[in-house]
A and B are shown apart, each in its own frame.
Chain A
Amino acid sequence: MPPEALSPDALFGLTGPLTLLGWAALCAYPLAPRAITALALAIPAMLSLLYAALVLSFWAGATGGFGSLAQVMALFDQPEIALAGWVHYLAFDMLVGLWIVRTARDRGIPHLIVLPCLPLTFLFGPAGFLAFLILATALPKRTSA
């Protein structure tokens, strides 16, 4: 039996600080682009490891599925699967955040301008992505040729 320290609630508690660390680093991206890229890849990698472990262990015994909204809701009724879903959000939202800061740098968009997209992506994932798409469409691309 897994120890109490690895219960869904305990694991949920671990993911919080780790995620905040990654997002704080992304906000400071221009200060150390390579190190922060490495961090913002490593944290999703760790979260993905947790996700894989959860799915390998608990998917087979889960009820529900992906066929309808009701089935998805049934899936998330189980703590371990809900945790996996949450970890999925955390991992992929952070990858979107990394993509945003790197794409902004490549297109010559000032980091301060895209900064609000980061907390938005952290809290409301796709909304932050949409906000950045709007900025990247509206602002001219300045590549140092």
Chain B
Amino acid sequence: MTALPLSAPLPGLDRLRADAPVFTAATLVIALAAIPLLAAHALDPRLIGAEGVWLKPLKFHLALAVFFATLAFFARWMPAATRASLPWRAFAALAVFCTAGELLWIGGAAAMGTTSHFNIASPVMGALYSLMGAFAILLLSPTLVMGISIARNRATGLAPALHLSVWLGLVLTFALTMVAASYMAQTPGHHVGTPVTGAAVPLMGWSREVGDLRVAHFLATHALHGLPLLGWIAARTLPDRAARAAVILSALAFAALTLGTMAQAMAGRPVF
């Protein structure tokens, strides 16, 4: 019975496992764990506001699975010696441990029919919220560490503009998310103002009536996707100098957009 047909081979999985075993395992566990939550979402009648209690946990599982898959993918451009080192592996395990804590907190709150973020209603929830803030910073910090490691790696074999866009995207994700999320964590909620009609952007749920701090948070976390994509296109279409200039300009524009939407939200104005 031990010869279970589990761990089915997926293309590219072996590479990700070799480069970043902890992040790859985390990606799979977080993604698979969403399945029972999806089943709960189908059965559970409870709502938080206007949406089912399991919607928020599901969004976090999706987002964090994508996050760790991205980190596992970028790990190939860290020096092999760094990847194999004990400090890095311990750090990666710590980030995943913090993520497990976050997801248990978010899912646990949903199971109890209450909110996780901004919930300081009881001393326990208040203490948990602070702890989860610390955990969030820890699980974000691989972006900074990997960004620096990749930046200093002269042997990635990448076109210079692409190399630049990868490490700059990672570092930008760290810096902008720290700004956007830390600020939001200190406010009573993600809205600035009180919505009346509840009009929102489809899928994302961003308010179209009042300021919504989640827009900047979303843009910040996706710097590590957007900038490398841009860098890849630039490296293929432009000569080297121009490609790198394009990456730097895009990084500046992206940062401006993120901070701009944050200022917009803080002023109580909806994204559109």
Contact = CB atoms under 8 A, between A and B. Distances in A.
B32 interface: yes
A103 B25 contact: no
Interface string B1-18: 110101110000000010
Given A140-B7, A140-B17, A141-B7, A135 B1 contact: no
Interface in A62-121: 99, 102-103, 106-107
Contact of A133 (B6, B8, B17, B21): B6
A97 to B, nearest CB: 14
B28 interface: yes
Interface string A126-140: 010010011111111
B116 to A, nearest CB: 20
A103 B33 contact: no
Nearest to B17: A140
A122 to B, nearest CB: 17
Contacts of A99: 1
A58 to B, nearest CB: 33
Contact of A103 (B4, B28, B29, B32): B4
A103 B2 CA distance: 6
A107 B2 contact: yes
Q: Is the interface of B mostly helix, strand, loop or mixed?
A: helix
Nearest to A130: B36
B257 to A, nearest CB: 36
Nearest to A102: B2
A138 B29 contact: yes
A102 B2 CA distance: 8
Contacts of B2: 102-103, 106-107
Nearest to A113: B25
Interface string B163-198: 000000000000000000000000000000000000
A130 B28 CA distance: 14
B4 A136 contact: yes
Contact of A139 (B7, B8, B33): B7
A145 to B, nearest CB: 14
Contacts of B33: 134
A134 B29 CA distance: 6
Nearest to B39: A130
Contacts of B36: 127, 130
A144 to B, nearest CB: 13
A130 B237 CA distance: 48
Contacts of A133: 6
Contacts of A136: 4, 6-7
A102 B6 CA distance: 15
Interface string B238-267: 000000000000000000000000000000
A53 B148 CA distance: 68
Given A134-B32, A137-B28, 11 more contacts: A103-B2, A133-B6, A135-B29, A136-B6, A137-B6, A137-B8, A139-B7, A139-B25, A140-B7, A140-B21, A140-B25
Interface of A: 99, 102-103, 106-107, 127, 130, 133-141
The 7 A-B pairs of least Cβ separation, nearest first, read A138-B28, A106-B2, A134-B32, A138-B29, A137-B6, A136-B6, A138-B25
24 contacts: A99-B1, A103-B1, A103-B2, A103-B4, A127-B36, A130-B36, A133-B6, A134-B32, A134-B33, A135-B29, A136-B4, A136-B6, A137-B6, A137-B7, A137-B28, A138-B28, A138-B29, A139-B7, A139-B25, A140-B7, A140-B17, A140-B21, A140-B25, A141-B6
